[in-house]
Amino acid sequence: MPMAEKKINRPVPLALFILYVLAIVFLLVIPNNYRGANVLVGGLTWERWIQHIGRNWNLMPFREIAQQIGFIVAGEDVTRNTIYLVGNLVGFTPLGFFLPVLFEKLRKFTPYIIAVAVALICLELAQLLTMRGSFDIDDIILNAAGACIGFWVLRYATKKLCAEQRPMGNRGVQI
């Protein structure tokens, strides 16, 4: 693909990606009416901030996920717990579309999942440090699973589209 063609095709996905990242940061890091004290709001003591950081860690994989599923099965706060699980999956599915489209090196799964993991760890740390939430390995697991779903859906759709555009005689030939 000529260089000029790449530049023409990238502004729309890039603009959408920037809007997506801003929405994620706004929802998960920037203070809003649904959260209490936050390091970004001010009026916070060092002691309270250190206490928050010390208490708000989950490094045990699947602990929160199992707890949320247990609540759903028991019929306890089903809507909230379903939103937690589905929201963490669906909220990061767009990464599977944006990153491979915008960054050629992230079209292979291994570099893609490494980039996603680093971004998610940074996001969880930002939530912890700004007191917008906790550092939860289960959030990283669910978010990464959602990002993987997006990646594989894009890959499947791309292969299907390429297969349909090939002449009939070349259907068995890999591009």
Q: What is the pLDDT of residues 132-148, one digit of tens each?
A: 889 999 999 999 999 99
Share of the chain above pLDDT 90, in %: 65
Looking at the 3D structure of the chain, how many domains does it have?
1
pTM attached to this predicted model? 0.82
* Structural domain includes residue 172: no
167 found inside a domain? no
Q: Can you give the pLDDT at residue 4? A: 47
Return d(Cα 113, Cα 148) in angstroms, integer.
8
Could you list the residue range(s) of the whole structural domain that residue 125 is in? 3-161
How crowded is residue 39: how many other Cβ atoms within 10 Å of its Cβ?
17
Identify whether 148 is part of a domain: yes
From the number of C-beta atoms within 10 Å of its C-beta (0-12, 13-18, 19+), residue 29 rates as: middle
pLDDT (average), residues 70-76: 96
| CA torsion through residues 134, 126, 53, 132, sign | negative
Residue 76 DSSP class = S
The pLDDT of residue 34: 53
pLDDT per residue as tens digits for the range 149-173: 999 999 999 998 888 877 655 555 4
Q: Does a structural domain hold residue 166? A: no
175 has a pLDDT exceeding 50: no
Six-digit token string for 110? 């291994």
Domain presence at residue 141: yes
Residue 168 within a domain: no
37, part of any domain: yes
**pLDDT top residue among 152 and 50:** 152
- pLDDT value at 36 more than 90: no
Q: Virtual CA dihedral for 110, 111, 116, 118, nearest 10 degrees? A: 110
Q: What is the pLDDT of residue 29?
A: 86
Token pair recorded at residue 173: 């030939």
Q: Is residue 173 part of a domain?
A: no
Backbone angles phi, psi at 67, to 5 degrees: -65, -45
* Helix, strand, or coil (residue 41): coil
